[in-house]
Structure 1
Amino acid sequence: PPAERPASLPGVFVGGDAVPYELVGVISPYNFPLLLGLIDAVPALAAGCAVLVKPSEVTPRFIEPLMRLVPDGLPLQVVEGDGRTGAALVDLVDAVVFTGSVETGQAVARAAARVFVPAFLELGGKDPAIVLAGADLDRAAAAILWGGTANAGQSCQSIERVYVAREAHDEFLALLAGKAAQVGLTCEGGPIGPIIRPDGAEKIAAQLADAVARGAIVHTGGTIERHGGGHWCRPTVLSGADHSMLVMTEETFGPVLPVMAVDGPDEAVALADDSRYGLSAAVFAAPEEQAMAVAARLRAGAISVNDASLTALVHEGEKHSFRRSGLGGSRMGDASIARFLRRRAFLVNRSDAADPWWHPTKE
């Protein structure tokens, strides 16, 4: 809390402290189950809260080894269960944090409103990358490939659509497809893991079928494969994409990079902002001033400049999600802890004189 200071009224001083929420509930998703189970829990603990975590029932295997490591006395508990358990959790806590889909996030927000507790929501994304003429195309292709396919694209900050200046489009597309063709699956020794949920594989397949039916061209990947009982999708590069296709407008959550040619920065920004999401984005341009000018026009909470998906690795930058990608305080930077604290003010009058606004009374 700030040091005590004089108020605007003579003789009055303002101080204060910070009061943590007693119990914070965390409802975490199936992707990155350990990381996203703790990314809100640890700051809440640092703020002085007790924390109750309800991870996704799809990926619960980390719970038992995690709880073996939790020291006695640390007010952290993890419970298993499905959506009904998450709904019950909201009724028990003093603040709730949810990471997941927009639709479920809206349900959590409604439930939190009914019991009058704050809800911090980190929801979906459809992150765009913009590549302008003059950018380092080889660097842009390498960064966007990683940003769109790390963890098989199952990250909220994954690059899911790419807008390239028309004069650079063909060269960039060739570089991106060439690099993507060299990236294999983990079952072959490569870095691309399986699709976590069967319905996720179905969604990817449906979006690819829709794109091809509407004229998109598949340069790499493009199919769901089965290996060892799991579903896999190789890095998929599409060209000829446009906003009539689901793959350009709805969250994919897979290693798919649709590329669209644009006529300059204005069209790129207009298309990038043509979305219900506003989580993050990326801009590649030279000089840097041009990239920053474009970044400042995007309606998204974090913009990687001449790189992609840096929010996965750089946690110092405080940010808010725009549009339906989230609600509430930043989970990055100092605000990641401060959002779990309520400010309390102490207003101390050290004057012996009567306040002039008091009701006049006879002695």
Structure 2
Amino acid sequence: MKVRNPRTGEYDYELVEDAPEVVEKKAQEIRSAHKTWHKRTIRERVSVLQKWLGSFTEFQTEIAEQLAIDTARKRIAKVETGGIIGLMQAWSYRGPQLYNPPAERPSASATTVQIGQQWVPYGVVGVISPWNFPLLLALIDTIPALLAGCGVLLKPSEVTPRFMDGLEKSIAAVPELAAVLKLVRGGAEAGKAVVNNSDAICFTGSVPTGKKIGAACAERFIPAFLELGGKDPAIVLEDADLEVATDAVLRSCVGATGQACQSLERIYVHENIYDSFVEQIVKKATAVTLTTNPDEGQMGPLIFEKQAEKIQEQIDDAVSKGAKVLTGGKVENINGGLWCAPTVLTDVNHDMDVMVDETFGPLIPIMSFSTEEQALDWANDSIFGLSASVFSKDRDKAIEIASHIEAGAISINDGSLTNKVYDAEKNSFKESGINGSRMGDAGFLRFFRKKALLIQTAHPETMAHFEESSS
């Protein structure tokens, strides 16, 4: 499989795909090693994780350089590798605190029975991760699953696979880890093989693909933890600090070139401050610099060619229906890379694709509202419910508005805070996801099944219990 370089447009890397039988063999090897792995104490698994942290640090520069090619983002690549070190440290600290199966206790409903509980980790957890933050989203589920005692079959996206080379070296340096964590290379067929050989699936990606994976998991009767797309709204109330709101909205919409599921993608601004908001954000959007020189600038090219096509289609659809382009507006080929400057759109509405379909690009469509009820109706007029933002100087008012937004996480006076805050448990609403939270303590606890041991301390009931004459 030839892999495109997002900066040059050249297909300069070859990914050798794992055939289904290879994936099956890797899963079997994990299952064999899992018999020992899950019997280790949580502290012993932390010790192995700490060894991996050491080897990961050794290969960190190499992994970051590979990520920088995969994504055409040097600074964010360094942030991703640093974030993984933070995750390893955080779960090494928090995991042992959380692993605390309840002590044996008497049953409240059957007084002669003692209840014991065991937490049983899944054998093989399949992790299928996307291309936008390739390393972080590959390991955000993998690390707590391993610590819980699961083995992991990990398939990162075939769009951004280069970083796997360095990552695999860091894993191989820790034999105990390499036995229960194996990488899978390939596209859709490899992904199907992961689903077919796992006991639980963690998938991050688009809604259409997530639905297919969810259906395949249902067919096999295994759990699917699905983190899917978003169309995050921002509501900017009349009393909002415009400097705060425009800074946060711009960063959320176009940071990482808008290629994040929690990016703000539709902005609703009170009519009394609408003109001032638009004026300020246009000025700031125009000042954003592109990294056509990879050593300077703020915003890189689009990673995935098909996504670039979708972004241009949304812009064209909006313009054909009356939208105005105030900045940007065109996906351009610069030295082989596909670039889109921050694009501010006004005169938009919900008849346009840009206001209802996920964009995954640096577009800022803005509508004005006259009442809070209208803003909430528009914010909730979506199949998505990932996250959202509310801006207001009145903290209580912002929280009140946030309580009516149908989404799993609401940032107040900022945008996309879920990319910084990992310890707040949340669930995605609507089609943005399903099942246990990857954030907060649930990100670890969801990898256990609860087994009850029911211990009778008295003589068991006999068949005399069913004697009709004694009723």
* Structure-1-length-normalised TM-score: 0.96
Q: Which residue of 2 aligns with 1:83?
A: 188
Q: How does 1:221-236 map to 2 (within 5 A)?
A: 221-236=328-343
Greater Cα shift, 9-18 or 144-153: 9-18
Q: Which residue of 2 aligns with 1:157?
A: 262
Q: How does 1:164-243 map to 2 (within 5 A)?
A: 164-188=269-293, 189-243=296-350
Q: Which residue of 1 aligns with 2:175?
A: 72
Q: Which residue of 1 aligns with 2:164?
A: 63
Q: Which residue of 2 aligns with 1:119?
A: 224
The change in CA–CA distance for 1:171 and 1:6 in structure 2 (over 3 A counts) is same
Which runs of no fewer than 5 residues in structure 2 stay unpaired? 1-100
CA distance in 2, matches of 1:289, 1:318: 21
Which runs of no fewer than 5 residues in structure 1 stay unpaired? none
Among 300, 304, 310, the alignment partner of 2:407 is 300
Q: Which residue of 1 aligns with 2:103?
A: 3
Structure with greater strand percent: 1
Residue-by-residue CA offset, 1:251-271 (whole Å, 9 max, x unaligned): 111000100000121111100
Q: Is the 8 A contact 1:129 1:159 kept in 2?
A: yes
Question: Number of aligned pairs?
Answer: 361
Quote the offset at 1:213 in angstroms.
1.6
Tell me the amino acid that sits aligned with residue 242 of structure 2.
L
The change in CA–CA distance for 1:284 and 1:357 in structure 2 (over 3 A counts) is farther
Quote the offset at 1:353 in angstroms.
7.2
- SS of the residue corresponding to residue 39 of structure 1 reads helix
Quote the offset at 1:134 in angstroms.
0.4
Residue-by-residue CA offset, 1:149-178 (whole Å, 9 max, x unaligned): 111001010100000011111111111111
Quote the offset at 1:352 in angstroms.
4.7
CA distance in 2, matches of 1:215, 1:357: 81
Percent of pairs identical after alignment? 50
Residue-by-residue CA offset, 1:107-128 (whole Å, 9 max, x unaligned): 1111111111111111111000
Q: Which residue of 2 aligns with 1:290?
A: 397
The change in CA–CA distance for 1:63 and 1:165 in structure 2 (over 3 A counts) is same
- SS of the residue corresponding to residue 186 of structure 1 reads coil
- SS of the residue corresponding to residue 315 of structure 2 reads helix
Residue-by-residue CA offset, 1:6-43 (whole Å, 9 max, x unaligned): 21122222220100000000111111111111111111
Q: Is the 8 A contact 1:90 1:111 kept in 2?
A: yes
CA distance in 1, matches of 2:167, 2:425: 28
Structure with greater helix percent: 2
Quote the offset at 1:356 in angstroms.
9.9
The change in CA–CA distance for 1:131 and 1:357 in structure 2 (over 3 A counts) is farther
CA distance in 1, matches of 2:455, 2:376: 51
Among 129, 133, 146, the alignment partner of 1:45 is 146
CA distance in 2, matches of 1:353, 1:331: 43
- SS of the residue corresponding to residue 178 of structure 1 reads helix
Q: Which residue of 2 aligns with 1:22?
A: 123
Q: Is the 8 A contact 1:160 1:252 kept in 2?
A: yes
CA distance in 2, matches of 1:120, 1:200: 24
Among 263, 269, 272, the alignment partner of 2:370 is 263
- SS of the residue corresponding to residue 17 of structure 1 reads strand
The change in CA–CA distance for 1:357 and 1:64 in structure 2 (over 3 A counts) is farther
CA distance in 2, matches of 1:265, 1:309: 21
- SS of the residue corresponding to residue 326 of structure 2 reads strand
CA distance in 2, matches of 1:208, 1:356: 75
* Structure-2-length-normalised TM-score: 0.75
Quote the offset at 1:208 in angstroms.
0.6
Q: Is the 8 A contact 1:132 1:264 kept in 2?
A: no
